[in-house]
Amino acid sequence: MINIFKTEPELLKAFAHFFIEKAQNTIAKYEKCNVSLSGGNSPKKIYELLTLPDFRERIDWKKIFFFFGDERYVPLNDKRSNALMVKMALFDPLNIAASQIFYIDTSLSPAEAAKKYADTITSHFEGQLARFDLMLLGLGNNAHTASLFPYSPVLTELSATVRSVFISEQNSYRITMTAPLINQARHIAFLVYGTSKAEAIKHVLKDATDTERYPAQLIFPKDGDLQWFLDEAAAIGL
């Protein structure tokens, strides 16, 4: 489903309400909620919004467990770290307990970090299907999501797991959930706004399927709900 809002503030508010509704419903049904977060500037504004009184008081935050869909291969205290951004924007203001947060350990080698995170996810889900209740995703100008970059080898991964991948254009490693793992989620929500994302949105949602060129097209759950949250600027090509 594609949800389009006139302005960025309207979009962000609607997305925050969506987050709260899904968290509330999941906690009511399962007594906990497993969320996978996205890095980048777009979700940062959502995290900051969720810490405001109108939103923070509507969720029992002690029942939410937080994971990361991907991470840059940098130390936790590096300004490029997704974990650091979320820690400062969401975890610290809400006093989220360390036991509820599952960071990717970038002190290990990329391959070891990916394997350890996959093992952590398996352990958390007690060997059952690793099905996140809510998966938050963004979209890059080149149509990547998580760290599923165009023409990277991880795009053909068939296992629902975590992999390290070297992004040649950035000359750096990333650790990312694979598309099959993402697609197991109950609810997947893309948050995309701004004119700079309009071309990527058009390619992903309107063009013929070419997942090597437009990796976000890989995200299509067979047994889950997929929502796109866009502002009019990003949706201008639709």
Is residue 182 within 8 A of residue 111, CB to CB? The reply is no
pLDDT band of residue 222 (cuts 50, 70, 90) is confident
Give the bridge partners for 231, in sequence order.
Answer: 5
% of the chain at pLDDT higher than 90:
96
Spatial CA neighbour of 148 closest among 180, 191, 101? 180
86 pLDDT more than 90: yes
**Contacting residues for 19 by C-beta, under 8 A, at least 6 apart:** 46, 50, 134, 136, 189
| pLDDT for the residue numbered 42 | 84
Domain ranges of the chain: 2-231
Region 10-38: mean pLDDT is 97
pTM attached to this predicted model? 0.96
Region 202-206: mean pLDDT is 97
**Contacting residues for 23 by C-beta, under 8 A, at least 6 apart:** 33, 35, 59, 64, 133, 134
> End-to-end distance of the chain based on CA atoms, in angstroms?
13
* Encoded tokens for 191: 């948050």
CATH 3.40.50.1360 assigned to domain 2-231? The reply is yes
